[in-house]
Amino acid sequence: MNESQIDLVSLPAIEANIHDHESRSFDASNFEPAQNTDSTSRLPRTDGGKDAWLFLAACFALEALIWGFPFTYGIFQDYYAKEPSFQGQTSIALIGTCSMGVLYLGAPFLFAGLTRWPQARRACTYVGIIIMCSALVLSSFATEVWHLTVTQGVLYSIGGGIAYSPMILFVHEWFVRKKGLAFGIMWAGTSVAGVLLPIIMTSLLSRYGFRTALRIWAIVVAVIALPLLSFAKPRLPLSTTHHRAHSSSFRQLFDLSFLTMPYFLILQACNIIESSGYFLPSLYLPTYARDALHSSNLASAFTVTAINGATVVGTIVMGTLIDKFHVTTCIFVSTMGSTICVFLLWGLATDLPLLYVFAITYGLFAGSFCATWSGVIRDVQIRTDGKADAGLVFAFLAFGRGVGNVLSGPLSVVLIGGSGGHVWKGQAAGGFGSGYGPLIAFTGVSALLGGLSFVVKRIGWL
């Protein structure tokens, strides 16, 4: 079939047929007997029902706990920059880069392992949470920046990735026709945490210092996350996923041919470019508000809260749109909105209210970019006739975002450190003349280039 003739709207039916076909080979002994003799009636239904929504609610909360902490690192960065033990060390930014970058970069390896050994998925969620909490406790004893980089950065992310990866695989089992919406709701958990955590962490840091704050958060994560894991469970019986993993050849199980598809390569390149600038406002807005606008610590922290609060709305809306429109159209909306608000609002911000307006609009548009991934996964599976594993496509998209995230750390140091911070300082209006001008410009340009897939699609190259 010619790719241009594929009806994207038909994907839910295709996926439903695949699930129905798989369900006929399930070992139904794991489920309560049903009146209907069809084995599919013994499974919890997809796209709705008590079990599906409880699963999604648990994933929403776990997403908030796992990703919310690194996404509010800007608060810690501002604190560490003033902490006598770490003051003056430019490598502080690398802690936040590692805490998110490793979470993304480890995805292909984790998803490959969990695809081959599905029996380890449930155990990994528990092991990952324990590693995360241990990393937080260990980081509270840090006396050097590199201690924090290893513990709060790398070790935390390793644990978070181990706990998080199985949940992504489970979402594909629970949701078929409403997959975009499901991912949008799940990923909104990070943003909800991002609304609350800056306020909570600012209070804890100012009252108790970073050591006690990290220990308190470790306890909170353990107390909330471990009980929730009983709901973040697979829909399909282990016998089914285990049989598929061991009956399929290595080539069938790990079909990576999509990595050479021009369609995927273009979208992945745009994903990396957009990601290289996406994280910078969350990392630097608190410091920018305090240094350039002379705001209080609490008022500065609200900039991150505003971004994350708006991202809640943005991801859910985009999750709904991606189920209805072509992925490049949704990417265009996200990136163009981001570009305009960076240049016009942050670039010209001279007071805190305008900076808050920027934070909200940036969260709405830039924060919704990841919600387009379900559309990329959908199109890649269609173009490969279902051979590309959804989990592996997601893993490589996450890897691409991790590359962009890791690059943004050193880039940000160059853009505002040394001579970079003096470019346009005192010679341009608003934020461009504040010493953060190169950082603002880079953020806007990377957002603009992240939407090139829309142009490529319109001229017929995609």
Tokens encoding 262: 């021009």
pLDDT at 408: 84
pLDDT at residue 3 above 70? no
CA-based torsion, 274, 278, 279, 281: positive or negative: positive
Give SS3 for 232. coil
23-42: pLDDT as tens digits: 333 332 233 333 343 444 57
Residue 452, CA distances (Å) to 150, 267, 274, 394, 401 in order:
36, 9, 10, 20, 16
pLDDT band for position 116 (50/70/90)? confident
Give SS3 for 80. helix
pLDDT at 236: 82
Rounded to whole angstroms, the Cα distance separating 457 from 263 reads 9
The angle that helices 107-116 and 93-105 make with each other, rounded to 10 degrees, is 30
147-189: pLDDT as tens digits: 999 999 999 999 999 999 999 999 988 998 888 889 889 988 9
Q: Is 269 exposed, middle or buried (0-12, 13-18, 19+ CB in 10 A)?
A: middle
State the average pLDDT for the chain. 84
Q: Mean of the pLDDT values across residues 252-276?
A: 90
Rounded to whole angstroms, the Cα distance separating 240 from 326 reads 32
Rg, the chain, Cα only: 22
Q: Which residues contact 389 (CB under 8 A, 6 or more apart)?
A: 115, 253, 254, 255
Contact between 103 and 164 (Cβ < 8 Å): yes
Q: How many CB atoms lie within 10 A of CB 224?
A: 14
Q: Which residues contact 269 (CB under 8 A, 6 or more apart)?
A: none
Rounded to whole angstroms, the Cα distance separating 181 from 378 reads 13
379-409: pLDDT as tens digits: 999 999 888 888 889 999 999 998 998 888 7
Contact between 400 and 273 (Cβ < 8 Å): no
Alpha helical stretches, state H, 254-389: 262-278, 280-291, 297-322, 327-341, 352-365, 373-383
Residue 83 backbone zone (phi > 0: left; psi -120 to 50: alpha; other: beta): beta
Domains of the chain: residue spans and CATH: 49-458 (1.20.1250.20)
Q: Is 354 exposed, middle or buried (0-12, 13-18, 19+ CB in 10 A)?
A: middle
pLDDT at residue 131 above 70? yes
